[in-house]
Amino acid sequence: MNNTLHRLIDGIIIALEREIIPRVDDAYARGQAFAVMDLLRNMRPRLEWSRDITLAEVGLQEAALARVDELCRAQAERPPAWKPSAAAASTLSTHELEQRRDRLETEVCNMLKWLAEHRAALDPVVAHAVEATLAGYMRDAVKRELALTANPLFAEISRGANA
Amino acid sequence: MYQPSESELRERLTAFIEQQTGKPASVSRLTRYSVGFSWLTYGFEATWEEGAARQSHQLIARIGPPDGIFAPYSAAPQFLVLKAIERTGVPVPRVYWYTDSPQTLGAPFFVMEKVAGEAPLPWVPGGGSAFDDTTRAALGEQFVAALARLHSFEWRGTPAERLDGARDVGTAAAAQIEFWERYLRRHERRRYPILEWALLWLRANSPRAPRISVIHGDYRIGNFLVLDGRINAILDWELVHLGDPHQDLGWMCMRAFRGRSPLMCHLIAREELYRRYHELSGIAVDPRAVAFYEVFGTFTLAVMHVGAANCFEGGGFDDLRMAAMGAQLWRLLSQLERLLSGETP
């Protein structure tokens, strides 16, 4: 997901309160909508994004960056040294894990840029292996996220009605 | 969040129309439409004196909200280009007035005629055909013909000359990459390696434009109105600019607008599109340039999803559709990853 959980819950409550409930004519349906708001308010302080999902993402990132570091060890041109974090990912809170995931994504981005800029100075076999490692990481990461993403309801959203 | 009340909007639109026409006016039947993820769209009936009689007009107000996905907005480009091309054979709504001043509605907006018709959407339940064969063939031909006319339009010496974009065939792609990278940097709350990979690839593979044309920027199914089997109007000109005509062709060909259909925008086979476009516009199609702009288009669509998520997260825009759009970012990143890996689009 690309929004924080708490912002999404707040946004859903705002939509119910300002956009939906005032336009619902049926009292029972309005009561149900108020109940949804009530439940969301109670769930909000108790919820966070899945720690397991973020932990798996961080695992993929660390494996890819460690592999690139290993591939480049004998090269004259080397990317900035990969230093695994002191604290094991499994010991971090969800918030700390999300911060680590974001930092590691930046490192992968920097590695892609480094490869593009230094490719000519690398052994072609190594350059290809680095590229394949980074591409493989991106493919695995996107597959994992896609498996968690429901089909969009853009047609219904655009029409304001069932497709 | 920008959200004028209906009574406030009615009152201000009335005053605006009176100012523009110099006649007493009234506004009624104000309705907000759910279409469009960027500009807010309101339909209304306006009445004012013309000659000896009061005439009613069915109109649309398109408002660029200050917290929207492409804010800060300007209504001028859309208005100017729609005015400039109204007699070129490209079916467009008649535009009446615009202002970029926030004084009237608190945001830039323009007023245009309400054109009758339905907008077919790219999302077809079950992934089937969007049209029967006869309708599809007719719409496909009109859609290509309208694009050919737009790209052949001689914009120099018209108000469209004021559009943003490239004037140089050698830098048209680079100018667009730079524009969208700036947008990405403004909105990203974390980095996305696939988007960085795409930027590197795009810079390394930019084609030279065959000419500089007016580019619609969002030319696809969903952005035209159909009435009785014919295209009545091409809509949503908010990304209009000057650039490489291959950009609109690449956008039309994107997977995002055809799903599993082999037809571009559910309308026309790729080879047929290239052939008819060339015949009608005289502009030769370079399939490699179209492929480049398919990657570019998928990149920009993904970047728009990043923007939507950010407008919702921290931009004060409470429209839940933005968050729903942001939640689909990975679908675009998956399409982009496959294109960058060399899969056939």
Half-sphere exposure of B319 (CA within 13 A, CB side): 26
Residue A143 contacts B, CB cutoff 8 Å: yes
Q: What pLDDT was estimated at residue A79?
A: 86
Contact across the interface for B121 and A159, Cβ inside 8 Å: yes
Q: Which of A112, A149, A155 sits opposite B193 (nearest CB)?
A: A112
- ipTM of the complex in this document: 0.94
Strand-pair partners of B60: B43, B112
Question: Can you give the CATH number for the domain in which B304 is found?
Answer: 3.90.1200.10
* Torsions phi, psi for B281 (to 5 deg): -105, -25
Q: What are the DSSP calls for B35-103, one per residue?
A: --SSSEEEEEEEEEEETTEEEEEEEEEEE--TTSTTPSP-SHHHHHHHHHTTTTT---PPEEEEE--TT
Euclidean distance between CA atoms B277 and B219, whole angstroms = 14
Q: What pLDDT was estimated at residue B127?
A: 65
Question: Can you give the CATH number for the domain in which B89 is found?
Answer: 3.30.200.20
Strand-pair partners of B112: B60, B95
Q: What pLDDT was estimated at residue A74?
A: 86
Domain boundary among B113, B142, B167: B113
The per-residue pLDDT for range A95-120, each reduced to its tens digit, is: 999 999 999 999 999 999 999 999 99
Crossing angle of helices B133-152 and B270-281, in 10° steps, is 40
Q: Which residues contact B325 (CB under 8 A, 6 or more apart)?
A: B37, B304, B305, B308, B309
Q: Which residues contact B335 (CB under 8 A, 6 or more apart)?
A: B254, B255, B256, B298
Q: Contact at 8 Å (CB) between B92 and B85?
A: yes
Contact across the interface for B125 and A155, Cβ inside 8 Å: yes
Assigned domain for B231 exists: yes
Which chain B residues touch A97 with a CB distance below 8 Å? none
Contact across the interface for B34 and A159, Cβ inside 8 Å: yes
In chain B, which stretches have pLDDT less than 70?
Answer: 125-128, 315, 344-345
Domain boundary among B113, B143, B178: B113
Contact across the interface for B320 and A11, Cβ inside 8 Å: yes
Q: What are the DSSP calls for B157-172, one per residue?
A: TSGGGG--B-S-TTTH
Q: In Å, how far are B78, B132, B183, B233, B288 from B215, measured between CA atoms?
A: 11, 29, 19, 16, 18
Residue A109 contacts B, CB cutoff 8 Å: yes
Average pLDDT over residues A16-38: 96
Euclidean distance between CA atoms B298 and B250, whole angstroms = 9
Of A82 and B82, more confident: B82
B212 and B279 fall within a common domain:
yes
For residue B97, give the nearest of B74, B76, B73 by alpha carbon: B76
Take residue B71 and report the two structure tokens written for it: 């804010």
Contact across the interface for B320 and A116, Cβ inside 8 Å: no
Contact across the interface for B121 and A158, Cβ inside 8 Å: yes
Share of chain A above pLDDT 70, in %: 99
Contact across the interface for B330 and A149, Cβ inside 8 Å: yes
Contact across the interface for B312 and A134, Cβ inside 8 Å: no
For residue B144, give the nearest of B2, B304, B36, B285 by alpha carbon: B285
B304 and B169 fall within a common domain:
yes
State the smallest CA–CA distance between residue B337 and chain A in angstroms: 7
Q: What pLDDT was estimated at residue B343?
A: 78
B86 and B152 fall within a common domain:
no
pTM: 0.94
Among chain B residues, the shortest Cα distance to A14 is held by B318
Q: What pLDDT was estimated at residue B345?
A: 62
Domain boundary among B52, B78, B113: B113
Q: What pLDDT was estimated at residue B300?
A: 98
Q: What pLDDT was estimated at residue B275?
A: 98
Residue A128 contacts B, CB cutoff 8 Å: no
Residue A39 contacts B, CB cutoff 8 Å: no
Assigned domain for B345 exists: no
Assigned domain for B277 exists: yes
CA B33, B34, B40, B46: dihedral to nearest 10 degrees? 0
Which chain B residues touch A135 with a CB distance below 8 Å? 197, 341
Among chain B residues, the shortest Cα distance to A151 is held by B328
Range of the domain at B51: 6-113
Contact across the interface for B318 and A8, Cβ inside 8 Å: no
Q: Which of A102, A135, A146 sits opposite B331 (nearest CB)?
A: A146
For residue B81, give the nearest of B69, B73, B93 by alpha carbon: B93
CA B201 to chain centre: 25
Give, for B231, the enclosing helix (H) or strand (E).
Answer: strand B230-234
Among chain B residues, the shortest Cα distance to A1 is held by B327
Assigned domain for B1 exists: no
Maximum CA extent, chain A: 73
B64 and B169 fall within a common domain:
no
B127 dihedral zone (left: phi>0; alpha: psi -120 to 50; beta)? left
Number of structural domains, chain B?
2
B106 and B144 fall within a common domain:
no
B52 and B149 fall within a common domain:
no
Assigned domain for B120 exists: no
